[in-house]
């Protein structure tokens, strides 16, 4: 079955960077985009961007451009999301989600378990 | 950016009831609208894709409808296990956006 397993919780100081991993199994990693979505405590879902694991192409939400980098290692079926210049506003659970495409657009059909990133001095 | 507005924000319901959650898009998105269920401390789970297409393994009491700018998620015969927050999501154009969520208390 499709599984996305993310790395563990992180605590970072303001100004630092964090890198979260998302290991895929149960399907061909390079055949589906990986998207990243975050959720602050008690808040809604916020899309951060996408990556095509086959080509390495990426697209980022305007809010995160210049601060986020999405990469992958196809040999271990793992996607990464790195966010820099962290502030307390970046404290959230970060999810990776597989993007399943049709002619009508893309849907997030499988999600990782989430990684809590806490930014605190 | 397409804004999705859900209503209501919160609803208290009783088992076996029927509930309808609405999601309105700020511009037409065709059928590129999906629904997710999120229980406390869990990841979102896909319930309905492309406005009305069912998902394998999701109970048949969940159904979706609509197109263009107005969409609905209907739950027939509510069960205690349906207590969760429900989100709509549009993939018609980037950036992907979500509704603010509807919390169901049972």
Q: How far apart are CA A94 and CA A92, in angstroms?
A: 6
Q: What is the mean pLDDT of chain A?
A: 96
Under a CB-based contact definition with an 8 Å cutoff, are residues B101 and B87 in contact? Answer: yes
Q: How far apart are CA A92 and CA A1, in angstroms?
A: 27
Tell whether A47 is within 8 A of chain B (Cβ): yes
pLDDT at residue A103 above 90? no
Under a CB-based contact definition with an 8 Å cutoff, are residues A100 and A106 in contact? Answer: yes
Taking contacts as CB-CB distances below 8 angstroms, the residues of chain B near A110 are: 46
Taking contacts as CB-CB distances below 8 angstroms, the residues of chain B near A59 are: 94
Tell whether B20 is within 8 A of chain A (Cβ): no
At A105, is the pLDDT very low, low, confident or very high (cuts 50, 70, 90)?
confident
Angle in degrees, CA A45, A47, A48, rounded to 5: 135
User: CA B9: distance to chain centroid?
Assistant: 12
Tell whether B36 is within 8 A of chain A (Cβ): yes
Query: End-to-end alpha-carbon separation of chain B, Å?
Result: 34
Segment B28-62, tens digit of pLDDT: 999 999 999 999 999 999 999 999 999 999 999 99
- Name every residue whose Cβ is closer than 8 Å to that of residue A93 and which is 6 or more positions away in sequence: A38, A39, A41, A114, A115, A116, A117
pLDDT at residue A102 above 90? no
């Amino acid at each position: 079955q499709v599984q996305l397993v993310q790395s563990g919780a992180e605590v970072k100081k303001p100004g630092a960077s964090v890198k979260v991993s998302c290991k895929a199994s149960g399907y061909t990693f390079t055949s589906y985009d990986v998207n990243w979505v975050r959720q602050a405590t008690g808040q809604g879902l916020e899309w951060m961007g996408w990556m095509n694991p086959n080509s390495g192409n990426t697209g980022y939400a305007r809010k995160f451009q210049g601060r986020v980098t999405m990469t992958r290692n196809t040999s271990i079926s793992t996607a990464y999301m790195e966010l820099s210049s962290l502030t307390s506003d970046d404290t959230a659970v970060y999810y990776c989600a597989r993007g399943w495409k049709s002619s009508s657009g893309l849907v997030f059909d499988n999600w990782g378990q989430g990684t809590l990133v806490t930014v605190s001095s | 950016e397409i804004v999705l507005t859900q209503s209501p924000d919160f609803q208290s319901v009783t088992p076996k009831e029927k509930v309808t959650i609405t999601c309105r898009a700020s511009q037409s998105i065709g059928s590129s609208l999906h629904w997710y269920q999120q229980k406390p401390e869990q990841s979102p789970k896909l319930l309905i894709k492309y406005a009305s297409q069912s998902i394998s393994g999701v109970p048949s009491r969940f159904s979706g409808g609509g197109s263009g700018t107005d969409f609905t998620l209907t739950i027939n015969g509510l069960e205690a296990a349906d207590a969760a927050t429900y989100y709509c999501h549009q993939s018609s154009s980037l950036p992907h956006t979500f509704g603010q969520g509807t919390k169901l208390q049972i």
